Structure 1
Amino acid sequence: MRDFDEHNITEAVVDSLAQTRDARLKTVVTSLVRHLHDFVRDIELSFDEWNAAIDFLTRTGQMCSDKRQEFILLSDTLGVSMLVDAINHRMPEGATETTVLGPFFVAAAPELPLGADISAGIDGEKLSVNGVVCASDGRPLAGATVDVWHADDDGYYDVQQADLQSLAMRARFRTDGDGRFAFTSIMPAFYPIPHDGPVGRMLEALGRHPYRPAHVHFMIAAEGYETLITHIFDAESPYLDSDAVFGVKNSLIAPFSCEDQSGKVQRGLTYRFGLKPLPNIKGDS
């Protein structure tokens, strides 16, 4: 293994992987090496550009902490997170489409009774939410757990606000016998992803904005079904066509307003969620 040039070095690196015991690891790294080398040859990467890339990745890692994951932000803004999500969630007809989890999920959200107000007294325009959870074939699913969370009308989540003494705008519910759930809260706003680090500077250099359209997060689980992670987006929000993390899908856009019996427009969201059944894997009989 010597005397390498731009034409033969790729195969030399691939050959060096021959003794890799993990077959999947070998497949992944082989493909990575081939694509990475082809990329470098395609753009004829200069030393200055290579050094800038190393510096960018170093600063991205240095920005990470137990409260912030800049590499996930990088993955999100390059569309990789949504691509991985799409490959791993090919949904049957009747099942709700998925999107990214986002960084603000809290596993210990309080379980509240149906119809509860989850705003915790935070000021904002009131929003009522009504949903039904079904199997992809339309059968209602009783007892499904429904985690919900969203930003306030300034675009901030509770965990971003040091002055809040408790969780707000998030909760867990269980569907009733008809698969239904309901709660009230406040209208969420569109907001920027964190853009004070290397990913934000990358977006600025690329002429891109950091904003996400207004949405409510849902994580829905039921025994025998694939857990659904998704958002429902406000149909009137800005940035639906330019979400910084490429998370918007047409099926996940819904009106956040409706008319009551008197014709007065009120803020409300009604949505049907369909869950994908898990494969029925049986052992040999």
Structure 2
Amino acid sequence: MTDTTTEQATAAASGAAATEQFRSKQRSEAIDVDTKRVDTLVTELLASAHDIIRRHKVTYAEYDVLKSWLIQVGQDGEWPLFLDVWLEHVVEEVASENREGSKGTIEGPYYVLDAPALPAEATLPMREDEGGTPLLFQGQVTGVDGTPLSGAKVEIWHADDDGYYSQFAPNLPEWNLRGTVVADDQGNFKIHTVEPAPYQIPTDGSCGKLIDAAGWHAWRPAHLHLKVSAPGHQLITTQLYFQGGSHVEDDIAQAVKPELILAPTPVADGKGNEVTYDFVLDKA
């Protein structure tokens, strides 16, 4: 399905929406600043930048281009996009290095709090003519010891068949392809949705200029976003990709892990695909 109105999504509009969502999340979280840790991290970051300048003999012309670009990133509202695409995967790697349960990966800039609550078997909100191959995504949420986690929450969101996210592109229903599924008493869930499409991150703003200047591509593979949680256990944020999909091997965000690749199979009636993927949560 192609909706010409959604094709008008711009980097500036997406950036503004991502910035506002991030600020909303930050307002709900307490921040405890350790001045010694700030000193250490910022000092080392600056030292690394100084080293790059010295080793590569950066000129004033190059410095001015960088300065102009950094200013433009802020004006375009693209800092959430830049940080989530090029840095978050390393932060996530460090944050989850001691987990025994399921693998996580980056959240990305398109998460929205408080998606509609849905029962253990549910169809995500979508348009009557929603494009894409129908997908049944099902599984079970357990603890590391195998205990089913009754009432676990499975938050899911993903792009549509044109590569757009609701609330980050015009003319999409507010909660299109977003929901919070509450698992049954055995931790089981069944989610009816459609397979998303690969997409390019916005390229008409500052991040696009960087991509073009460096000769990179801007593509992310098709993926489902998930946050899975249960009382007394660590929340896991992850993305699941599709075997054989475009750019699984060269994701611009470097967020793909072998454990996160799905292999859907056709459903019995031939109308779409299905896949089972279980989540294992660590104790809090």
Bucket of the pairwise TM-score, normalised by the shorter protein: 0.7 to 0.9
* 1:90 lines up with 2:103 in the alignment: no
Of residues 154, 168, 176, the one that matches 2:184 is 176
Report deviation, 1:265. 7.9
Confirm whether residue 267 of structure 1 aligns to residue 273 of structure 2.
yes
- Counterpart of 1:108, as a letter, is D
Instruction: Classify 1:77/1:170 alpha carbon distance in 2 versus 1 (closer, same or farther; 3 Å).
Output: closer
- 1:166 offset after TM fit, Å? 3.6
Q: Does 1:232 align with 2:240?
A: yes
Decide whether the 8 Å contact of 1:191 with 1:211 is kept in 2: yes
Q: Do the aligned residues in 2 keep the contact of 1:141 with 1:177 (CA within 8 Å)? A: yes
Partner of 2:283: 277
1:221-265 CA-to-partner distances (Å, cap 9, x unmatched) read: 1111111100111113100011111110000001132453x8x58
Q: Is the 8 A contact 2:220 2:247 kept in 1?
A: yes
Tell me whether 1:110 sits opposite 2:127 in the alignment: no
| Structure 2 letter corresponding to 1:109 | A
Counterpart Cα distance in 1 of 2:138 and 2:92: 26
**Counterpart in the other structure of 1:196:** 204
In the alignment, the residues of structure 2 paired with residue 49 and residue 273 of structure 1 have an alpha-carbon distance, to the nearest angstrom, of 47
> What stretches of structure 1 of length at least 5 have no aligned partner?
1-20, 65-69, 279-285
Q: For 2:254 and 2:246, how far apart are their aligned partners in 1?
A: 14
Structure 2 residue 41 is matched with structure 1 residue 28: yes
Counterpart for residue 159 of structure 1: 167
Measure the CA separation in 1 of the matches of 2:162 and 2:173.
Answer: 18
Name the aligned partner's letter for residue 45 of structure 1. V
Task: Specify every segment of 5 or more residues in structure 2 that has no aligned partner in the other structure, as ranges.
Answer: 1-33
Query: Partner of 1:73 in structure 2?
Result: 81
1:66-97 Cα deviation digits (max 9, x unpaired): xxxx123222343x21111111111433x111
Give the Cα separation in 1 of the matches to 2:99 and 2:166: 34
Is 1:63 the counterpart of 2:76? The answer is yes
Q: Distance in 1 between matches of 2:73 and 2:255?
A: 22
Shift of 1:118: 1.1
Give the letter aligned to residue 93 of structure 2: A
Q: Are the counterparts in 1 of residues 167 and 174 from structure 2 also a CA contact under 8 Å?
A: no
Q: TM-score if structure 2 supplies the norm length?
A: 0.82
Q: Note closer, same or farther for the CA distance 1:32–1:164 as it changes in structure 2 (3 Å cut).
A: closer
**8 A contact 1:147–1:220 mirrored in 2:** yes
* One-letter amino acid matched to 1:47: Y
Q: CA deviation at 1:142?
A: 0.8
| Distance in structure 2 (CA, Å) of the matches to 1:258 and 1:26 | 54
Report the Cα distance in structure 1 between the residues aligned to 2:109 and 2:83, rounded to whole angstroms: 12
State the Cα deviation string for residues 95-140 of structure 1 (Å, max 9, x = none): 1111111122121211112222114222332111102111123221
Asked whether the equivalents of residues 220 and 229 of structure 1 are also in contact (C-alpha less than 8 Å), the reply is: yes
TM-superposed deviation, 1:204: 1.4
Contact kept in structure 2, 1:129 and 1:270, CA below 8 Å: yes
TM-score normalised by structure 1 residue count: 0.82
Question: CA–CA distance in 2 between the matches of 1:146 and 1:186?
Answer: 17
Whichever residue aligns with residue 243 of structure 2, its letter is: A
Counterpart contact for 1:136–1:274, Cα < 8 Å: yes
Q: Which amino acid aligns with 2:165?
A: Y
CA RMSD of aligned residues (A): 1.8
**Quick one: higher RCO (CA 8 Å, sep 6+), 1 or 2?**
2
Distance of 2:131 and 2:85 partners within structure 1: 31
Q: Which amino acid aligns with 2:179?
A: A
1:171, 1:54 → 2: CA distance?
40
1:135-190 per-position Cα deviation (integer Å, ceiling 9, x unaligned): 12322111111111111111111223422344111111111111111120111111
SS at structure 1 position matched to 2:116 = coil
Code of the residue aligned with 1:89 in structure 2: it is: S
CA contact (8 A) 1:216 1:233 kept: yes
Match of 1:216 in 2: 224
Structure (1 or 2) with the larger CA radius of gyration:
1
Count of aligned pairs: 249
Distance 2:116 2:232 in 1: 24
